[in-house]
Amino acid sequence: MKVETDAIDVTEYQRRRADVLQALKGSAAVVFAGEGAPPQLGRWRPDAHFYYLTGLDTEAGGAVLFDPTSENPKRRIVLFLRPLNIEKERWDGYRDPINSALKARTGFETIMRSDVLPGMLTGAARRAKTLTCLHGFSVYPADVSLDFAAFKKLSERIPNVKIEDGVNLLPSMRAVKSAGELKLMRKAAEITTAGFAAAMNVIRPGATEEEVSLTLEHNYRKGGAQGVAYNNIVGSGINGTVLHYNDNSCTLQKGDTLVIDSGCAYKNYACDVTRTYPIGGTFTPEQRDVYEVVLAAQLAGIKASRVGATFTDIDVVSRQVIEKAGYGDYYIHSIGHQLGIQVHDASPDGPLKAGMVITIEPGIYIPEKKFGVRIEDDIHILRKGNENLTIAVPKSVKDVEASLKD
């Protein structure tokens, strides 16, 4: 088991859990890591809420129980881990026994095996009579969330148990970043900036989208990142009009534009940057005009990103720039999203607060002209104004063209 604490100390995870316990106001709750096994491609990833509360990213089948009515204070927040299985672990990796060292590393006073969780959760429900859903609700007809599914079964076995909606609690906490989280996100931005700089040396007619993508990922890992935070989008020509294009298989043609949407993951925190480049080093007049409109829309959106604003407020300001220029029909998505442990991170209800990190990413996509333009930065909301974490990635027309000629 590995607990990442180089910037986020174990005491911060403890504070997060204590804040949840207090916010539950006597109700019981459980957060599940999710099931699964190490995949043959990529890494198994826990539920982001579970990771946020524990710092554990290898414990499939784990859970955190919040039992505020337990008479034992040490059992009001309990970590559950799957039982050890020596035969299985020879395939998937050895795991730690429950001992004082494990408790010290995780900050939990009580750790139990998951086979006793049903009994513990039943006892918590019987005493509290109220269960609060913390996992996000599913959209019909998808399966219900793990905690809601468990609570429905409990309500069939214990009379007068009430199930409440607390799904905004953890997103509200996760969206406001701590100093430790911001340190990780700044490092992710620094590594991503270096990756984009390296990619500039590859962007030329005759190269491939895949070469650019591999250069980005190689340099992310070289810089200390885990790899990409999401599948690289490297779309040239008409591919740049496909929002989530990820074939990354075409050859770059002189005169086309290249949309790169990429970011590294550093200690499980994401960066997310988009830039658009002219293949051959210089935008055509039409490409340049569209680029300037998108840049103006992005700068307007960034300026509007402040405490008290909503994503709708920011979208309106940015979209007006594009619509005024006559490209409203070619702007087919919203302005941005929360950023953090996930690239599309937990998004709470309500306006922006100081400490949030969001993306601002307007775009214009013209399939009939076979090119698209998107520009995206990661914006840290301050008490007054904001901070652009990815400002070091060139984005003015002059700087973009110069970066390809160096």
The domain 176-405: what is its CATH number?
3.90.230.10
Q: How far apart are CA 108 and CA 79, in angstroms?
A: 7
- Of 116, 142, 3, nearest to 61 by C-alpha is 116
What pLDDT is stored for residue 3 in this prediction?
45
Task: Assign 4 a pLDDT band (cuts: 50, 70, 90).
Answer: very low
What is the reported pLDDT for 42? 86
Give residue 48's pLDDT. Answer: 98
pLDDT for position 331:
98
Q: pLDDT of 11-43, one tens digit each? A: 999 999 999 999 999 999 999 999 988 888 888
Per-residue model confidence as pLDDT tens digits over 249-293:
999 999 999 999 999 999 999 999 999 999 999 999 999 999 999
In the prediction, which pLDDT does 262 show?
Answer: 98
pLDDT of residue 6: 58
Indicate the burial class of 163 (C-beta count within 10 angstroms; 0-12, 13-18, 19 or more). Answer: middle
pLDDT higher than threshold 60 for residue 5: no
pLDDT of residue 168: 97
Q: In what order do the strands lie in the sheet with 111-113?
A: 29-32, 63-66, 77-81, 111-113
Quick: pLDDT tens for 319-366.
999 999 999 999 999 999 999 999 999 999 999 999 999 999 999 999
The helix/strand count (H/E) of the chain reads as: 12, 17
Q: Rounded CA gap, 120 and 75, in Å?
A: 10
> What pLDDT is stored for residue 39 in this prediction?
87
Residue type, 404: L
Q: Residues of CATH 3.40.350.10 domain(s) within the chain?
A: 10-174
Residue 38 confidence (pLDDT): 83
Contact 133, 169 (CB under 8 A): no
pLDDT at 406: 56
pLDDT at 170: 98
Residues of the chain with CATH 3.90.230.10: 176-405
Within a 10 A sphere around the Cβ of 51, how many other Cβ atoms?
21
- Three-state secondary-structure class, residue 137: coil
Compute the average pLDDT of residues 219-234. 97
pLDDT at 93 over 70: yes
Cα separation, 301 vs 361, whole angstroms: 9
C-alpha 8: how far from chain center: 17
The fold of 10-174 is: Creatine Amidinohydrolase; Chain A, domain 1 (3.40.350)
pLDDT, averaged across the chain: 96
Q: How far apart are CA 204 and CA 403, in angstroms?
A: 12
Q: Is the pLDDT of residue 206 over 80?
A: yes
